[in-house]
Amino acid sequence: MNKTNHVTILLIASTLAMIGLVFFQYKWINHSRNLSEEIFNQRASMALCSTLEDYGEGTSCSEASCAVACGKEESLIPTYTDFVGRPEIVENEDFQADLRKTLDFYNIDLNYKISQSPVAPQNNTREATPQCVVNIPPHIDKPEAFVTLAFPEKEKFMMGNLSYMIGASLLILLFTAVVLWLANWWLMKQKKLLRTNAEIYNNMAHEFRTPLTNIKLATSLLSKDPSNPGNAKFLDIINKENARLIQQVERVLHIARLDNGDYALKNEPLNVKALLQTVMEEMQMQIEEKKAMVSIQQIPDAFEITGDRQHLTNVFRNLIDNALKYSEQPPVIEISARSEKDGILISFQDNGIGIPVSKSRLIFEKFQRIQDGQLYDQKGFGLGLAYVKRIVELHKGFIQLDCGVSQGSRFNIFLPKFS
């Protein structure tokens, strides 16, 4: 899966996350509203029951069963109390005053309507005013009565209590939406930039590769002409520089393909020792020029890995090339390998100038180069080790670095065994 597909997936995921956040915020607010309404209904019923109890001449609501059934449009609270008093108790000013005090005690500061009826009110869900109903059973010579307590402003009161929660939720949603929009905008911009970079890489590689191929062809023809022996030195220089440029172009092209996800590893069984020997033979001219000593330390012939021959050849070439370049004395490079549980660990040890520990992670990033006086004055794009790390990881392996300034460097590469 390439990076373009990754960006598309992230865009879809962020959109779904926003929709999910809105849904759960709505459910949360709705749950809070229902819980607040339930608490309000309980307080209202307790206030009404307590006030009636005070007028019950010693009888108690606790002797009966008080239950609460809450609905959206109305609250029906059947309370059975041995109530002794006049059926018109709700018209009593003292009762009204006590009810107001009790409601204030329960933090219910709302206008209310209270009524008394000999018949139970209908449980009409279309009733616009939420209400509490208390059933007063008949007692001796007192007929059965129903007391209804209604709050016309209940819905407004409930929404007012939730205003801070709703406001905070809207601000959070707005902030999240803006962040996601900016992230999506940035991702779309990166997606477009990624396509542009891939095109630039490909065009640049093509523009470099064509003249380099022509130079190589021309020098090949000139080298066949023995009439001017003095040209041999210059032809050798041209060939070396041409090969170096071709190598840099190939690195850029490989990195571009990897970044764009346009790659396919051609895995096959590879003999570790044979592959390393092939690389050393191809680099023999560079090794001799640097007067280096490169040795393979007793790697068994049986060591085999699974991988792409071309890419792993480039990986080994890059590591040896770096060891040759970054050395103040004749380079000594030792290559060894040992068997691990699930793979082969290949080590490249050199006696070069080393790498500061603080820079050891940065060197595997693209375009990162160590700028430290005259020690690290070699030119390049800073793509070699980034390419090495990416290829090793694509082979489901890893690369480690043990280093220190003036202590040389040791690169350890783990690659899966052939099975």
pLDDT value of position 149: 79
pLDDT value of position 247: 72
Q: Mark whether 32 and 156 lie in a shared domain.
A: yes
Q: Mark whether 107 and 156 lie in a shared domain.
A: yes
Q: Mark whether 371 and 406 lie in a shared domain.
A: yes
**pLDDT tens-digit profile of 239-262?**
777 777 777 777 677 777 776 666
Q: Mark whether 150 and 193 lie in a shared domain.
A: no
**Across the strands, what pairs with 345?**
338, 414
pLDDT value of position 404: 66
What CA–CA distance (Å, rounded) separates 314 from 391?
9
Q: Which of 99-103, 202-206, 309-313, 352-356 has the lowest mean pLDDT?
A: 202-206
pTM summary value? 0.50
Report the interhelical angle of 231-259 vs 163-223 (nearest 10°): 160
What CA–CA distance (Å, rounded) separates 79 from 71?
17
Please tell me whether residue 328 adopts helix, strand or coil conformation.
Answer: coil
pLDDT value of position 73: 38
pLDDT bracket for residue 68 (50, 70, 90): very low
Query: Could you tell me which residue, 408 or 303, shows the higher pLDDT?
Result: 303
Does pLDDT of 332 surpass 90? yes
Token code pair at residue 17: 């996350």
Residue 271 φ/ψ region, left for φ over 0, alpha for ψ in the -120 to 50 degree band, beta for the rest: beta
Q: What is the mean pLDDT of the chain?
A: 76
Token code pair at residue 374: 């005259």
First to last CA, the chain: 25
Alpha-carbon torsion angle 398, 10, 16, 35, nearest 10 = 60
**pLDDT tens-digit profile of 174-221?**
888 888 888 878 878 877 777 776 676 667 666 777 777 777 777 777
pLDDT value of position 126: 42
Residue 148 near residue 121, CB atoms below 8 Å? yes
Collect all residues with Cβ–Cβ distance below 8 Å to 49 and sequence separation of at least 6.
61, 66, 77, 79, 81, 134
Please tell me whether residue 350 adopts helix, strand or coil conformation.
Answer: strand
pLDDT bracket for residue 4 (50, 70, 90): low
* Segment 380-397 mean pLDDT: 84
Token code pair at residue 64: 């009966």
Residue reference for tokens 């172009």:
249
Residue 144 structural domain: 3-161
Does pLDDT of 238 surpass 60? yes
Domain boundary among 145, 161, 177: 161
Name the domain count of the chain.
3
Q: How many CB atoms lie within 10 A of CB 195?
A: 13
Domain boundary among 142, 161, 180: 161
pLDDT value of position 97: 85
What CA–CA distance (Å, rounded) separates 11 from 198?
21
* Segment 370-390 mean pLDDT: 65
Q: Mark whether 87 and 114 lie in a shared domain.
A: yes
Please tell me whether residue 341 adopts helix, strand or coil conformation.
Answer: coil
**What CATH number is given to the structural domain containing 390?**
3.30.565.10
**pLDDT tens-digit profile of 120-170?**
555 554 444 445 555 555 544 555 566 777 888 888 888 887 888 888 888
Q: Mark whether 138 and 14 lie in a shared domain.
A: yes
Q: Mark whether 298 and 322 lie in a shared domain.
A: yes
**pLDDT tens-digit profile of 263-316?**
778 899 999 999 999 999 988 888 988 899 999 988 999 999 999 998 899 899
Residue reference for tokens 């059926």:
87
pLDDT value of position 379: 52
Q: Mark whether 147 and 169 lie in a shared domain.
A: no
Collect all residues with Cβ–Cβ distance below 8 Å to 325 and sequence separation of at least 6.
378
Q: Which of 83-87, 252-256, 406-410 has the lowest mean pLDDT?
A: 83-87
Q: Mark whether 132 and 38 lie in a shared domain.
A: yes
pLDDT value of position 399: 93
DSSP, res 63: G
Residue 95 near residue 130, CB atoms below 8 Å? no
pLDDT value of position 125: 44
Residue 392 near residue 399, CB atoms below 8 Å? yes
Q: Mark whether 47 and 171 lie in a shared domain.
A: no
Q: Mark whether 281 and 297 lie in a shared domain.
A: yes
Residue 77 near residue 132, CB atoms below 8 Å? yes
Compute and round to an integer the Cα radius of gyration of the chain: 42
Domain boundary among 111, 142, 161: 161
Complete DSSP assignment for 369-418: ----TTTT-----S-HHHHHHHHHHHTT-EEEEEE-TTS-EEEEEEEEBP
pLDDT value of position 34: 86
Q: Mark whether 190 and 309 lie in a shared domain.
A: no
pLDDT value of position 369: 61
pLDDT value of position 195: 73
